Amino acid sequence: MKIISKNFKLLTVFLLVLGLTACSDDDDNNLPPAEPMTIVDVAIENNLTSLAAALEATDLVSTLQSEGPFTVFAPTNDAFSDFLTEANIDLSNMTATEIVTVRNVLFNHVIAGATITSTDLIGAGSGYVSTEAAGVAGNNMSLFYNFTEGSVVLNGMSTVTTADVTASNGIVHVVDEVITLPSIVTFATADPNFSNLVAALTADGQPDFVTTLSLPNGVTPTPFTVFAPVNTAFQALLDSNDNWNSVADIDSDLLTNVLQHHVITEANVRSEDLSDGMMPTTLEGDMITINLPGNDGNPAKITDGAGNTDIDIIAADVQAINGVIHAVETVLLPDTTN
């Protein structure tokens, strides 16, 4: 009897505990669901307080709490502090102009309508995407990414240090530098496909192309439209003359004219602005002729000042803050007889 009594007591205690547990489970089931973690919540959760403060100061919190999806490259506190110090901006006491500037810089870290993972970026290797920042005439700014030396780098200046922090309305990648608004020069130097062009622009005896093509929009002769030859185009140019082993071997004045023949000033001519037969005048002075469409599905083809035809635009609309770049497959040559 004692054994039965003892077992009965234990059974009673067990049932009581089971009942309490069941009640506790029912209570848990009745709790409201956890609030979703938006991009802004993720920034705060990961101690990106400077970014959160900047979003608040520029009235962008509600934007990044909306449905999205967004891909956001989020600068660390140190990175944002360095940017504000260099720009001499105090978030708590900004002028209207400074608010617009900081807001556009922040938008340059945001890609709307897509959740882009580090696997996507690494798999692609390199490329361009459009951010929410406004370039010339409000056109969305481009962002160049490439996977180099084991890291994803943005516009040649900012490296992803922590990737794939997920949010309910997108994804966050932490970066070590603020991605400032890019100029024509930013993309030319960031994209390895233009390394031969950069070598030509900076060759001995050339005008200060870097300073000119870095001018802020609104300063004459901005904005620029640049038809940028890729590396293979410059190599083909060198191969066309037995005396040219590098751009340094090309006569300085000739090289200047050739480079200026790729630039249209005071115009941000995007692919949608091109029309069949249009003949813009280049910085060098000769006109080029645009025909639509290009070959092999490319958007347009060019006849240069020397009469060379069927030069395809192979990548279009790399939008900077002071102009736009179109990559071309062949170096454009001016009319040297005039």
Statement: residue 16 has pLDDT above 70 = no
Statement: residue 43 has pLDDT above 70 = yes
Number of domains in the chain: 2
Reported pTM: 0.88
Q: Would you say residue 156 lies in a domain?
A: yes
Q: Would you say residue 20 lies in a domain?
A: no
Decide: helix, strand or coil at residue 274. coil
Q: Are residues 121 and 246 in the same domain?
A: no
| pLDDT tens-place string over residues 149-198 | 999 999 999 999 999 999 999 999 999 999 999 999 999 999 999 999 99
E runs forming strands in the chain: 70-75, 110-112, 126-134, 140-148, 151-154, 158-167, 170-175, 224-229, 263-265, 289-291, 300-303, 311-320, 323-328
Stated as kind and residue range, the H or E segment containing 228 is strand 224-229
Residue 36 has a pLDDT of 72
Average pLDDT over residues 33-45: 83
Decide: helix, strand or coil at residue 290. strand
Q: How confident is the model at residue 35 (pLDDT cuts 50, 70, 90)?
A: low
Q: Are residues 81 and 199 in the same domain?
A: no
Statement: residue 291 has pLDDT above 50 = yes
Residue 289: how many other CB atoms lie within 10 Å? 16
Statement: residue 90 has pLDDT above 60 = yes
The answer to whether the beta carbons of residues 73 and 107 sit under 8 Å apart is no
List b or e across 124-157, with b for residues whose CB sees 16 or more CB atoms inside 10 angstroms. eebeebbbbbbbbeebbbbbbbbbeeeebbbbbb
Q: Are residues 112 and 177 in the same domain?
A: yes
Q: How confident is the model at residue 31 (pLDDT cuts 50, 70, 90)?
A: low
Q: Would you say residue 157 lies in a domain?
A: yes
Query: Whole-angstrom Cα distance, residue 58 to residue 142?
Result: 21
Beta strands 126-134 and 140-148 are: antiparallel
Mean pLDDT of the chain: 91
Q: Which domain range does residue 191 map to?
A: 185-328
Q: Are residues 204 and 304 in the same domain?
A: yes
Q: CA-based angle 216:51:44, to the nearest 5?
A: 165
Which of 181, 198, 223 is a domain's end point? Answer: 181
Decide: helix, strand or coil at residue 121. helix
Which of 137, 156, 181 is a domain's end point? Answer: 181
Q: Are residues 114 and 227 in the same domain?
A: no
Q: How confident is the model at residue 5 (pLDDT cuts 50, 70, 90)?
A: very low
Q: Are residues 94 and 120 in the same domain?
A: yes
Residue with the larger pLDDT of the pair 10 and 131: 131
Q: Would you say residue 33 lies in a domain?
A: no
Q: What is the CATH number of the domain that holds 58?
A: 2.30.180.10
Q: CA-based angle 318:320:325, to the nearest 5?
A: 40
